[in-house]
Amino acid sequence: MDTVQKLSGQTRFLHWVVALGMIMMLASGIYMHETKAYGLYFWHKSFGVLLIAFVLWRIYWRLKNGWPQPVRPLKNYEAILSRSVHWLLIVGTILMPISGMMMSGLGGHGVPFFGIELIARNPDPADPQKVIALNATFAGIGKTLHGVGGTLIIAAVLLHFAAALKHHFVDQDSTLSRMLGRHRSR
Ligand code: HEM
Ligand code: HEM
């Protein structure tokens, strides 16, 4: 279990696996969207589906263990800001893969999971290069959520990263060291 002095191995492991996974997914998603690098779609989708397992494990652990307590009493605005950003990040980690699966799966493009076809592509018999959506409305909702959600999460991650640096270099407290599993006197 987490304490004020030390975060459990499970909290740290899950934070860094999901954080690095999300950063890679955000970067590859933007790159794909901008350049239409179709070779990356298979990997973006497969790793996105894989990340769900770690995200669900993390949410289970968060519910069981509670949120980490701050290393020092926070001012009111700091507490509200940090709690809101943490919520946005954790909700984003589940919303992004689900909206991606809605967009691709219900859009008829298919969802691969490495060698396994989770949702098959639905080619148009008249022109097999094209696909027919299984449910165009929900695929459209998924696409909007994936685009808007991605932008919101990038903003939240930047704020979160800046806050981690502020704790470490300006406040000189142990918030970042604790997440890295290192010790600092205050
Ligand atoms: C796990 C977390 C995920 C993150 C953080 C993420 C992030 C992103 C971002 C930021 C974009 C660019 C969106 C835009 O600018 O409109 C994108 C594009 C895309 N994502 Fe994801 N994604 C995730 C999972 C998935 C999954 C599981 C799938 C499908 C199974 C998927 C399918 C796609 C596709 C097909 C595109 C390209 C859309 C286009 O060409 O405009 N994503 N992703
Ligand atoms: C860019 C690198 C990152 C750094 C340096 C960083 C650092 C930290 C630190 C120091 C904490 C502890 C805050 C506290 O004790 O109150 C924390 C917590 C948290 N971080 Fe990050 N983080 C990073 C990326 C991310 C990303 C990409 C996500 C998710 C998309 C994320 C989600 C969270 C969440 C939800 C918490 C709350 C505690 C928990 O659930 O484990 N972080 N982060």
Domain locations in the chain as residue ranges: 9-180
Tell me phi and psi for residue 179, to 5 degrees: -70, -25
For 75-107, how does the pLDDT look when each residue is reduced to its tens digit (9 = 90+)? 999 999 999 999 999 999 999 999 999 999 999
Confidence at 28, pLDDT banded by 50, 70, 90: very high
pLDDT(186) > 60:
no
CB 62 within 8 A of CB 94: no
Atom of ligand 2 nearest to the CA of 164: 10
Measured in residues, the chain has a length of: 186
Tell me phi and psi for residue 60, to 5 degrees: -60, -45
- Distance from the CA of 37 to the center of ligand 2, in angstroms? 30
Nearest CA to ligand 2 atom 37: 86
Nearest CA to ligand 2 atom 19: 86
Instruction: List pocket residues of ligand 2, CB cut-off 6 Å.
Output: 11, 15, 18-19, 22-23, 62, 68, 70, 82, 86, 89-90, 92-93, 157, 160-161, 164, 175-176, 179
* This prediction's pTM: 0.95
How many Å from the N-terminal Cα to the C-terminal Cα in the chain?
20
- The amino acid present at 153, given as its one-letter code, is I
What are the b/e assignments for 90-124, b being 16+ CB within 10 Å? bebbebbbbbbbbbbbbbbbbbbeeeeeebebbee
Reduce the DSSP state of residue 93 to 3 states and report it. Answer: helix
CATH code assigned to 9-180: 1.20.950
Mean of per-residue pLDDT scores for the chain: 95
For 121-152, how does the pLDDT look when each residue is reduced to its tens digit (9 = 90+)? 999 999 999 999 999 999 999 999 999 999 99
Q: How many CB atoms lie within 10 A of CB 18?
A: 19
